[in-house]
Amino acid sequence: MSEAFKMDEAQPRLLDETGQGLIGEPLDRPEGRLKVTGQARYSAEYAPERMVHGVLVRATITRGRVTGFDDSAAQALPGYLGLFHGPRFIRNPAQGMADEAPCQPGESIDYHGQPVALVVAESFETARDAAARIVVHYDEAPGAPVAPDTGEIEENEKRKSVQGDLEAAMAGAAAVVDAEYTTAGHAAAAMEPHAAIAEWRDGRLLMHGSLQMIRFNKNELADALGVSPEAVRILAPYVGGGFGSKLGISSEHVSAALAARALERPVRVVMSRQTVFDAVLRRTETWQRLRLGADKDGRLTAIGHEDRVSNLEGEGFAEPVSAATRFLYSAPNRLIRQHISRNHRTPSGSVRAPGEAVGMFALETAMDELAEKLGLDPVELRLRNIPERHPVTGQAYTARALAESLREGAKRFGWDQRPETGSRREGEWLIGMGMAGAGRSNMLVPSAARVTLSRDGALVETDMTDIGTGSYAILGQIAGEMLGLPIDKVAVHLADSDLPGASGSGGSFGASSSGSSVFLAARKIREILAQRLGCKPEELKVSGGEVSGGGTRAKLADLLPEPISAEAKIEKGKTAESHFSAGFGAHFVEVAVSEVSGEIRVRRMLGVFGIGRVLNEKTARSQAVGGMVWGVGSALHEELGHDPRTGHIVTRDLANYHIPAHADIPRDMEVVFLPERDDQANPIQSKGIGELGISGSGAAVINAVHNATGLRLRHFPATPDKVLAGWADGR
């Protein structure tokens, strides 16, 4: 039995009625113990019989063609099984939700580090040694542009949006900000490196792949290999972090599958950390210009956000830098434009909070600057500019906790204690407070699930992934809540492409989309139970093995002579047209800046968020905290260093690419979720949280640095040398 549901109107808040007490509870992840005891098997951790090992070979030129391979030095190694390459190899990972193979470049090389072949051997060590012995012959096309301000720069017409007259509004404004910003490229830096084990069984591929979106990945892989989607089965029960970097299939999957087919043996390919940097989609660096104009009362009259990002020719993705600028604040005169530099760096793609993660640096630090110019409190400036309707589309907002977050955050943080700029010091440390708004759009993506209720409990089945976020926990909680079961009576099976196809994990939409499908399937089961009991579905109560309603009651077991199975699929509907849904919030940060070295230390962080219904307080909090840590990283530490000649990523390990260490993150880190229901978002009234924590948090750090020092830093990460340069410039 399958139900297709379109989100055309707000649904009753059934999860507020069921009363099982699971929803929102800070339950542990059911798989947590398996993970911390090493029993949860990640993609690389299977050892099918006769398995062999592959290591990818990279291009060491930036642009050109491969004219030949010489593996004679590798052939001397005992256990060497061969070199694989050819027209089915892919240039770079598929972009998120591509649903088809990425570019298959043949002999063409478009970036330094591009995987061009796979070496396979009986042992991993031999394969790695052999890979280093392969000589690749090239026909190099020198002079490939690698810097973002060189090469072809094209306008992205899709992103252009003009309302009113920005220039005129700027000219007539009582206060303006007009500044340029840059952000460095970022790596997702998931702890688990990209990994695949491919095995062909009777003409069908079994792929253990570290992936975020199985439904799409199956089609991408089938397309890349030239087989039908039915001939591909992907399993990814545990994924050690993705952050966007595992949205689409990548070289390890395609090469492992090809080699496994040729060798008739299972092949394992795990990227080295260096290869993850070379060949996985990065977050683009950005250049941004932000303009704000306001009248003397602090009402925005103009917002302009222009940006330049980079990507390889042919890649459809362009970081939506101005995403939050479109909907956060009102102003009658608006200009949003984007340019894409076509260069030959490792191609770019989605990394956690694409758009907001970097675009909000410009928007939210410019707001801080504007508040200073107006002599207004930055919290107050934001409160004065909350739009009534979406400024670009005219849609109504769904539940929006921006104002409450700003007020509640200011109160909890002690914002009224914010010192005068540059006035508070402890020894050599200058202390300051900063804040920023938070906003991240919320989406509903088609997602299906099957729920089966039997006398033993419930089983949830979907190809949804859990990339460390808590899908197992929340999907079990939703099913248990709906069916009146304690959590240990609910089993959750995920990330098998033979199961109903889910949204996958990406864009913060996974929990709400897949959660809604589980909810709808369980609601269907409740309807059947009501029918069997003889009551209306609204009257039904299920709990403690008892079913009651309409004055009758029965034992649940008696209504289940055989299990009931229901499948449901959700997709967005009319509410997505009439309404705009997003998570909102506010960040507050206290920093200390060394007057000697320019080093910045974050001392305190608070994030207040409205994310609709909280499904699990603990996993939601972890997402928010993780996002805020990412904000610190992009504000202060993270930077892909590209060689100016080859474009290749020089900071290709975790000693050189600095993500925050524990010592960079304050103990005093508080997350508050405001009570909220988003009725138009989906039938469970929840919203995404995976990316909202990043959105704006880095800007709050930088605004705190301004409060501490008086410096306006506009180039991120704000490493100590940039602080010193700011002082030297007398900024």
Partner 1 sequence: MKPFDYQRARDLETAAEAAQAGGRIIAGGTNLLDLMKLQVMTPERLVDITRIPGLDRIESDGPGLRIGALVRNSDLSADMRIRTGYPVLARALLAGASGQIRNKATTGGNLLQRTRCPYFYDPAMACNKREPGAGCAAIGGVSRMLAILGTSEACRAAHPSDMAVALRALEAEVETRRADGATRRLGLDALYRLPGERPDLETTLEPGEIITAVLLPAPLPGATQSYRKIRDRASYAFALVSVAAVVRMEDARIATASLAFGGIGARPWKDPEVDAMLSGQSPSAELFVRAADRLLAQAETDEGNDFKREMTRRALIAVMREATGLAPASTGTDKAEVPA
Does residue 641 bind partner 1 (CB under 8 A)?
Answer: yes
CA atoms of 410 and 407, how far apart (whole Å):
5
Q: Which of 182, 154, 361, 146 is nearest to 285 (CA)?
A: 182
At its nearest, how many Å lie between partner 1 and the CB of residue 650?
4
Query: Which residue in the list 192, 220, 567, 691 is annotated as catalytic?
Result: 691
DSSP string, 248-313: S--HHHHHHHHHHHHHTS-EEEE--HHHHHHHSPBBPPEEEEEEEEE-TTS-EEEEEEEEEEEE-T
Count the helices and strands in the chain (H runs, E runs).
17, 32
Does residue 46 bind partner 1 (CB under 8 A)?
Answer: no
- 3-class DSSP assignment, residue 372: helix
> If residue 480 lies in a helix (H) or strand (E), which one and from where to where?
helix 471-483
Q: Which of 191, 57, 197 is nearest to 130 (CA)?
A: 57
**What x-and-dash track marks residues 504-523 binding partner 1 by CB under 8 A?**
--------------------
Judged by CB under 8 A, the stretch of 103-111, 424-432, 527-535, 688-696 that binds partner 1 is 424-432
CA atoms of 196 and 270, how far apart (whole Å):
6
Member of 148, 549, 598, 612 binding partner 1 (CB under 8 A): 598
Does residue 191 bind partner 1 (CB under 8 A)?
Answer: no
Judged by CB under 8 A, the stretch of 97-105, 244-252, 300-308, 661-669 that binds partner 1 is 661-669
Residues 6+ apart with CB under 8 A from 494: 237, 462, 463, 464, 465, 466, 471, 472, 475
Judged by CB under 8 A, the stretch of 263-271, 474-482, 570-578, 639-647 that binds partner 1 is 639-647
Chain-centre distance for alpha carbon 123: 35
CA atoms of 577 and 444, how far apart (whole Å):
12
Indicate if 199 belongs to the active site: no
The residue whose two tokens read 């992103």 is 159
Does residue 274 bind partner 1 (CB under 8 A)?
Answer: yes
Member of 381, 474, 522, 636 binding partner 1 (CB under 8 A): 636
Give me 154's structure tokens. 């094209």
118: DSSP letter: E
Does residue 667 bind partner 1 (CB under 8 A)?
Answer: no
Residues 6+ apart with CB under 8 A from 409: 415, 435, 585, 586, 587, 588, 606, 607, 608, 672
Does residue 47 bind partner 1 (CB under 8 A)?
Answer: no
Does residue 666 bind partner 1 (CB under 8 A)?
Answer: no
Q: Are 475 and 447 in contact (CB under 8 A)?
A: no
At its nearest, how many Å lie between partner 1 and the CB of residue 413?
22
Question: Which is it for strands 447-454 and 564-572: parallel, antiparallel or unpaired?
Answer: antiparallel
**What x-and-dash track marks residues 378-407 binding partner 1 by CB under 8 A?**
------------------------------
Does residue 128 bind partner 1 (CB under 8 A)?
Answer: yes
Judged by CB under 8 A, the stretch of 2-10, 439-447, 613-621, 646-654 that binds partner 1 is 646-654
Q: Are 719 and 701 in contact (CB under 8 A)?
A: no
The residue whose two tokens read 């410009």 is 362
Does residue 724 bind partner 1 (CB under 8 A)?
Answer: yes
Q: Is 178 or 664 the residue whose CB approaches partner 1 more closely?
A: 664
Q: Are 651 and 657 in contact (CB under 8 A)?
A: yes
Does residue 38 bind partner 1 (CB under 8 A)?
Answer: no
Chain-centre distance for alpha carbon 420: 36
At its nearest, how many Å lie between partner 1 and the CB of residue 179?
22
At its nearest, how many Å lie between partner 1 and the CB of residue 195?
17
Size of the site for partner 1 (CB under 8 A): 41
Q: Which of residues 66-125 bind partner 1 (CB under 8 A)?
A: 125
Q: Which of residues 132-151 bind partner 1 (CB under 8 A)?
A: 132
- 3-class DSSP assignment, residue 532: helix
Alpha helices (H) along 548-616: 574-578
Does residue 60 bind partner 1 (CB under 8 A)?
Answer: yes
Judged by CB under 8 A, the stretch of 82-90, 591-599, 671-679, 704-712 that binds partner 1 is 591-599
At its nearest, how many Å lie between partner 1 and the CB of residue 429?
7
Judged by CB under 8 A, the stretch of 87-95, 169-177, 550-558, 653-661 that binds partner 1 is 653-661
| Contact residues for partner 1, defined by CB under 8 A | 58, 60, 125, 128-129, 132, 274, 427-429, 594, 596-599, 601, 636-637, 641-645, 650-653, 655-656, 658, 660-664, 719-721, 724-725, 728
Report the catalytic residues: 691
